[in-house]
């Protein structure tokens, strides 16, 4: 069984446009296949066949299935981070960024399903994505908490509720709404549901004019 220890950070590669294009093609294909069947049901041969190369050719770019999975997860987050940077350059606030990410993700159902399936699989210790998802969750909570702290007036919050509590609520709501949206996208707007929760936070903001109508 592949373990989390089998995953290593991809090594730096010399810039070769043709090789980079092939590597990107493999990543895009693996994303699609993992989104449809999860990590365990997809083989390296499946990915190689879909790309139109040999399995040996695939292993030249990704020495193991575990490394391919890590690269797929990193690529998904890289795309999100790149788009989020555009929101920051416009001067939008943290809550705007959060909602903008969810709204954009609704235009990419495959990427949303990818994270839903892999994050559920990775709850089992021994899954090659176990440590990655656990660490990502902890980083997300710390990041959202840090972003909320200057916005929230904790003296107005109910007893025992802190910026970290609100951060956990936001992330939990987004994760739960993701499953509802995937099951019935016509009935649920993920970013709409979270936006309604953000609207409920207005009385607890230090500077209420900084946040947009949602």
Cα–Cα nearest to 128, from 56, 47, 68: 68
What CATH number is given to the structural domain containing 43? 1.10.357.10
Q: Give the chain's domain count.
A: 1
The token pair that represents 187 in the structure block: 């009935």
Q: What is the pTM of this model?
A: 0.79
pLDDT digits (tens, 9 = 90+) for 133-172: 999 999 999 999 999 999 999 999 999 999 999 999 999 9
Place of tokens 């939008």: 92
**pLDDT tens digits, one per residue of 38-62:** 999 999 999 999 999 999 999 999 9
Which residue, 158, 50, 177, is CA-closest to 105? 177
Does an H or E element contain 92, and which?
none
Domain with 179, as residue range(s), is 4-210
Tens-digit pLDDT profile for residues 93-138: 889 889 988 998 888 899 899 999 999 999 999 999 999 999 999 9
């Amino acid at each position: 069984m592949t373990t989390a220890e089998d995953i290593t950070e991809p090594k730096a590669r010399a810039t070769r446009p043709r090789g980079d294009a092939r590597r990107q093609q493999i990543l895009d294909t693996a994303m699609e296949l993992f989104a449809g069947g999860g990590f365990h049901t997809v083989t390296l041969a499946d990915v190689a066949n879909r790309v139109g190369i040999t399995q040996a050719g695939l292993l030249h770019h990704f020495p193991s299935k575990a490394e391919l999975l890590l690269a797929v997860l990193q690529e998904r987050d890289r795309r999100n981070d790149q788009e989020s940077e555009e929101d920051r350059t416009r001067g939008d606030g943290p809550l705007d960024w959060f909602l903008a990410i969810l709204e954009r993700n609704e235009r990419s159902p495959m990427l949303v399903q990818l994270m839903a399936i892999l994050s559920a699989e990775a709850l089992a210790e021994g899954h090659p994505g176990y440590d990655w998802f656990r660490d990502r969750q902890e980083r997300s909570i710390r990041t959202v908490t840090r972003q909320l702290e200057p916005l929230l007036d904790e003296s107005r919050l109910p007893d025992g509720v802190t910026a970290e509590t609100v951060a956990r609520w936001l992330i939990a709501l987004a994760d739960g709404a993701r499953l509802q949206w995937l099951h019935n996208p016509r009935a649920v707007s993920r970013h709409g549901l979270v936006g309604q929760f953000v609207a409920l936070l207005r009385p607890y903001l230090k500077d209420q004019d900084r946040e947009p109508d949602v």
